[in-house]
Structure 1
């Protein structure tokens, strides 16, 4: 999940949504208490999203990874165990990233191409390791802080101000407020003529 200590890390992502759309992204999954309902809401509304998955969770719930992939959601790397990568030796950073790449490639049939460092905590060295693994680092523009107990109505209000081209940070770790808010978020976007799309592969 995100952390207030890294709020300054948010900003223009290096990988952005195509023109005329925005990108909803979900970190930390897959999780049986949230992923199926998030996926149902997205598919029912005709929207797509990018799921930045933790390798340990993907290995634990392979059927959820496959369901996301079958539905056309983008599958991306969020490390194996969600550490603050700049605090680790580079050998551990490589293991976190490569181990997750391997399990996601095994489950989907292709390696991921996008990567989000946990907490948005990154460094030139972390970016270099990710690039060497074939990954483009991706941060975000809009953070409703759903990881911090933000109420569903406030999540909806924050996302109502999202602009075309924005990348939105949400979470998929069993958070019921996010699950509750998503149908209203999608309805609001549709009402504005906006569509959430999966971030493009690089």
Structure 2
């Protein structure tokens, strides 16, 4: 698929995400992800409600999948809104990276996290993960959380329930093959959630996680701008959204090297969330 076709496709999807998926993002409620989790309770106008900026070259050509769904053991609550932030004691934050893994950028991000002994969350797309299972295995071995970001990064609000299940299940299968266990977290592409996504995610044993600080790094705004957005948005419980694939992510790599030691020096504990209680 040519670059101009890719750009046209993502612009259309982003426009749909704002119109159709706003109820799942702008109206998201804060939920508990830390030591003392709570149910979503108060409105939180997260950055994901902003109108998308001009996109960069993005996705590979979507693939469709078939196969019987596989469910995780135990019962996961069906939520009406994604979880947005952590609760609990101390100055804790969560760093998340979407759309990978990409062998051009993900290893550098993992190296930086390892340098500072920090754990993060990676929401991976199946079409990327299936060709880079060594990177998934490394994420798991180094203590990072590998989450489900669907197979081909579609706008879920435009898909049938069957297609959404296929997107989620195929990706969970790849993660299990590489990491030895199925994912327990998922994130809707573009932050566009709907009832089917929440129900199917719960059936597959996954909790929905959104974000509270969006670096908008996919717009390649410059390394300094990404650093400023993270540092300006830093606060206890914040979940930061960045990307390690989907375009040129060299700015994201450089930005992490800059803001991560500063956050640690400021007394923040960068961690990954535990599963909230129902």
Aligned partner of 2:224 among 153, 171, 187: 153
| Counterpart contact for 2:187–2:209, Cα < 8 Å | yes
Aligned partner of 1:118 among 172, 184, 189: 189
Paired residues for 1:87-106 under 5 Å: 87-106=158-177
| Counterpart contact for 2:84–2:211, Cα < 8 Å | no
Q: Cα–Cα, structure 1 residues 132 and 73, in superposed 2: closer, same or farther, change >3 Å?
A: same
Other structure's SS at 2:214 match: coil
- Aligned residue pairs total 202
TM-score, with structure 1 as normaliser: 0.93
Is 1:169 equivalent to 2:241 in the alignment?
yes
Once the 2 structures are TM-superposed, how far is the Cα of residue 47 of structure 1 from its aligned partner? Answer: 1.3
Once the 2 structures are TM-superposed, how far is the Cα of residue 18 of structure 1 from its aligned partner? Answer: 5.5
Other structure's SS at 2:123 match: strand
Higher helix share: 1
Gaps of 5+ in 2: 1-9, 31-81
Other structure's SS at 1:75 match: strand
| Counterpart contact for 2:85–2:212, Cα < 8 Å | no
Q: CA RMSD in A?
A: 1.9
Name the structure 2 match of 1:14.
Answer: 83
Higher RCO by CA contacts (8 Å cutoff, separation 6 or greater): 1
- Separation in structure 2 between the aligned mates of residue 106 and residue 57 of structure 1, nearest angstrom: 14
Is 1:50 equivalent to 2:124 in the alignment?
no
Structure of higher CA gyration radius: 2
Name the structure 1 match of 2:95.
Answer: 24
- Separation in structure 1 between the aligned mates of residue 105 and residue 220 of structure 2, nearest angstrom: 15
Name the structure 1 match of 2:263.
Answer: 189
- Separation in structure 1 between the aligned mates of residue 151 and residue 196 of structure 2, nearest angstrom: 18
Other structure's SS at 1:46 match: coil
Other structure's SS at 1:96 match: helix
TM-score, with structure 2 as normaliser: 0.68
Deviations 1:58-100 (A, max 9, x none): 1111111111111111110000110001101110000000111
Deviations 1:14-49 (A, max 9, x none): 164353211000000000011000000011012110
- Separation in structure 2 between the aligned mates of residue 44 and residue 64 of structure 1, nearest angstrom: 17
- Separation in structure 2 between the aligned mates of residue 46 and residue 176 of structure 1, nearest angstrom: 21
- Separation in structure 2 between the aligned mates of residue 150 and residue 110 of structure 1, nearest angstrom: 36
| Counterpart contact for 1:51–1:75, Cα < 8 Å | yes
Gaps of 5+ in 1: none
- Separation in structure 1 between the aligned mates of residue 204 and residue 231 of structure 2, nearest angstrom: 35
